[in-house]
Amino acid sequence: MNLSNKEPNKESSIKLTNKTVKNVAENSAANGSKIITPQYDRENTEIGIVHLGPGAFHRAHQAVYTENAMNLVGGNWGICGVSLRSATARDVLAKQDNLYTLAILDKEINYQIIGSIKEVLVASEQPAQVMARLTAPTTKLVTLTITEKGYCLGADGRLDLQHGDIVHDLSNRSQPISAIGYITQALGQRKINGIAAFNVLSCDNVSGNGDKLRQAVIDYATQLDAGLATWIEVNVAFPNAMVDSITPKTEDYTVDSVSNAIGARDEWPIQREQFTQWVIEDNWNGERPAWDKVGVVFTSDVEGFEKAKLRLLNCLHSTLAYAGSLAGFETVFDVTSDDAFYQFICQLANEEVIGSFVPPKELDVESYSKEIIERFLNPEIRHLLAQIAWDGSQKVQMRILPIIEDNLALGRSTKLLSLSLACWFEFICRALKDNREIIDPLAAEFASMPALLSNDSSEVVAAFLSIESVFGQDLKNNSALKTQLADSLSALRIGEARQINNIVEKLC
Ligand code: CS2
């Protein structure tokens, strides 16, 4: 069954709420489809986690692990979701007592009602309530999915003190707008009030996410008070983590199909694939949810897992997003089903990605890579290339450039990686030429660069590589790489993007 092909049936008249969730469980038991609902005493569960950025990925991943852990052993690990700006999640979820459905779309379709999120706040409207949650002694953990750009980092991976949000926060200390500002301000309050620090766990696709976040918070704290920076260094754990589960955004058809399936109206269900993985560095102060009992792996070395995931899944995803969009495909499934694109990503993975890093010893990287590509071929998942294409300037820094840099250092080929990067360049250039919206924090910068409209590939490449916040200082001086990128861009411009095999053949 493909949800996208299902006719939306008429609306269910009852809403998913605390009152009706029992009926969902009973009805499902009666008709033989087992829908899991919260098994713990939700009403009396306290909030122990503040999560910054309660978007689809958080609700499909960390909130589900936390739910499963509480279903198993209880614990006061309710989640307060904090949206930094948008009020939509709060307003929609409040009408259904913050309950929502997780739809797992794979060979089998399964539904689970998730209750771990107990409250959603909007920082821009409720800053005092957010601060109260962050400074409460009951809050033991702050988790984040704020996407790459939310960390306000420069190309050197350190906090960018010139970033507009950071400049704002440093001069409006009691009213921060960035996650870094909120976390540091709250830790400062806890220090003053003699309340133990919370742990801070990044769940974003950022390499060395815990280390980078820790450094960013310490850099920020140093601007406020050197004593606070030292206190944070000593008292706060920022474990590194790798997160994985393909989670396309909720569409109208998802709302209709899931509501029909559970027999109650859910205005904001979440859909994801069956596969899910969370590997967390075992660097923790105090208690944590019983995540280890529900599949989370704690290890002393996350780096290899992180690299494998970012370099295989995310690099291939971004490559497909740009190359596939140029060729007129709409979803990951569509483009991966095309033989030429399938071959292209297999070749990219085998020849240039695998071998660029040291995988963890427990990971068979060849099989891991094959399984990822199989996951892209899940017909139940309609993952839009346009969704993955967002924020390319932030994503390529994590997913493509480090592989290029490592391959250059190791004397390995970068031809296919250059083609992947050139697809991003061309994606941006075409959007500028066609006057289409670019969703990227650097959109205004791109629009102010006339060279991006040039027909001369070398000029376009030089203009992109001059953006230091993305490419740093070294790549623009590498003439071999520049030539490779310009050749790839020209090949893309002359060739027929659908025939990616011809382009690859020409370049290799
Ligand atoms: C995707 C990721 O949107 C994107 O950029 O590559 O969100 C991807 O689906 C997840 O990292 C999978 O775990």
**pLDDT tens per residue across span 164-182:** 999 999 999 989 999 999 9
Q: What contacts 449, CB < 8 A, 6 or more positions away?
A: 463
Q: Which residue has 């085998």 as its token pair? A: 350
> Residue type at 146?
I
Q: In this structure, what is the dihedral angle of CA atoms 297, 286, 52, 174, given to the nearest 10 degrees? A: -160
Residues 328 and 393 in one domain: yes
Tokens encoding 502? 């011809």
> Looking at 257, 284, 300, which one is the last position of a domain?
300
* Closest listed residue to residue 182, CA positions, set 223, 147, 133: 133
Probe ligand 1: pick from 105, 204, 313, 390, max atoms within 8 Å of CB? 313
pLDDT beyond 50 at 9: no
Which residues is 272 bridged to in the sheet?
Answer: 104
DSSP string, 57-123: HHHHTHHHHHHHHHHHH--S-EEEEEESS--HHHHHHHTTTT-EEEEEESSSEEEEEE--EEEEEET
267 and 352 inside one domain: no
User: What digits encode the pLDDT tens for the residues 349-395?
Assistant: 999 999 999 999 999 999 999 999 999 999 999 999 999 999 999 99
Q: Are residues 50 and 156 in the same domain?
A: yes
Rounded average pLDDT over 253-280: 97
In the prediction, which pLDDT does 151 show? 97
* Helix runs in 236-294, H state only: 252-262
Alpha-carbon distance of 360 to 363, in angstroms, equals 6
Buried b (16+ CB within 10 A) or exposed e, 206-234: bbbbbbbbbbbbbbbbbbbeeebbebbee
Distance of CA 281 to the CA centre of its chain: 18
Confidence of residue 300 (pLDDT cuts 50, 70, 90): very high
Task: Determine the atom of ligand 1 nearest the C-alpha atom of 314.
Answer: 6
Average pLDDT, the chain: 95
Assess whether 353 and 495 both reside in one domain: yes
Strands 277-281 vs 241-244: parallel, antiparallel or unpaired: antiparallel
Residue 243 CA: which ligand 1 atom is closest? 13
Q: Which residue has the tokens 């390319």?
A: 392
The pair of three-digit structure tokens given for residue 29, joined into one six-digit string: 């038991």
CA of 242 relative to ligand 1 center, distance in Å: 12
Q: Are residues 36 and 166 in the same domain?
A: yes
pLDDT for 185-241, tens place per residue?
999 999 999 999 999 999 999 999 999 999 999 999 999 999 999 999 999 999 999
> What does pTM read for this prediction?
0.95
What number is the average pLDDT over the span 408-418? 98
DSSP state of 8: P
Q: For the chain, how many structural domains are there in total?
A: 2
**What pLDDT is stored for residue 32 in this prediction?**
78
Mutate to test the pocket of ligand 1, among 245, 307, 314, 383 (most ligand atoms within 8 A of CB): 314
Which of 280, 300, 320 represents a domain boundary (last residue)? 300
Any ligand 1 atom below 6 A from CB of 205: yes
Contacts 24+ apart (CB under 8 A), 132-136: 133/47, 133/50, 133/80, 133/82, 134/50, 134/182, 134/183, 134/186, 134/189, 134/198, 135/186, 135/189, 135/190, 135/193, 135/195, 136/47
Residues 106 and 37 in one domain: yes
Measured CA to CA, the distance from residue 219 to residue 156 in angstroms comes to 13
- Specify whether the CB–CB gap between 462 and 451 falls below 8 A: yes
Predicted pLDDT at 284: 95
* Distance in angstroms (rounded) separating the CA atoms of residues 465 and 444: 16
Sheet holding 297-299, edge to edge: 241-244, 277-281, 297-299
Residues 344 and 481 in one domain: yes
C-beta separation of 24 from 87 below 8 A = no
Q: What pLDDT score was predicted for residue 498?
A: 83
Residue range 39-59: average pLDDT?
98
Q: Whose CA is nearest to atom 13 of ligand 1?
A: 244
What is the structure's pLDDT at 51?
A: 98
**102 Cα–ligand 1 center, Å:** 17
Question: Would the pLDDT of 258 be above 70?
Answer: yes
Confidence class of residue 12 from pLDDT cuts 50, 70 and 90?
Answer: low
205 touches 245 (CB < 8 A): no
Concatenated DSSP letters of 417-431: HHHHHHHHHHHHHHH
Which residue range is the domain that position 119 belongs to? Answer: 3-300
Residue 333 shares a structural domain with residue 480: yes
Cα distance between residue 170 and residue 94, in whole Å: 32
Which of 6-20, 218-232, 480-494 has the lowest average pLDDT? 6-20
Q: For the chain, state the CA radius of gyration.
A: 23
Q: What percent of the chain has pLDDT over 70?
A: 98
- Please state the rounded mean pLDDT for residues 289-298: 98
Same domain? 345 vs 286? no
The backbone torsions φ and ψ at residue 446, rounded to the nearest 5 degrees and listed phi first, read: -60, -45
446 shares a domain with 386: yes
Q: Which tens digit of pLDDT belongs to each residue from 129-140?
A: 999 999 999 999
Distance 171 CA to ligand 1 centre (A): 34
pLDDT-based confidence at 5, cuts 50/70/90? Answer: very low
Cα(391) to ligand 1 centroid in Å equals 12
pLDDT of residue 99: 98
C-alpha closest to that of 147 among 447, 385, 398, 317: 398
Does 107 lie in the same domain as 14?
yes
Place of tokens 């070395």: 301
Same domain, 18 and 154: yes
CATH of the domain at 375: 1.10.1040.10
> Is the pLDDT at 16 greater than 90, yes or no?
yes
Phi, psi (rounded to 5 degrees) for 468: -65, -30
C-alpha to C-alpha distance for 217 and 214, rounded to whole angstroms = 5
- What CATH number does residue 159 fall under? 3.40.50.720
Q: Which of 238, 266, 300 is the last residue in one of the domains?
A: 300
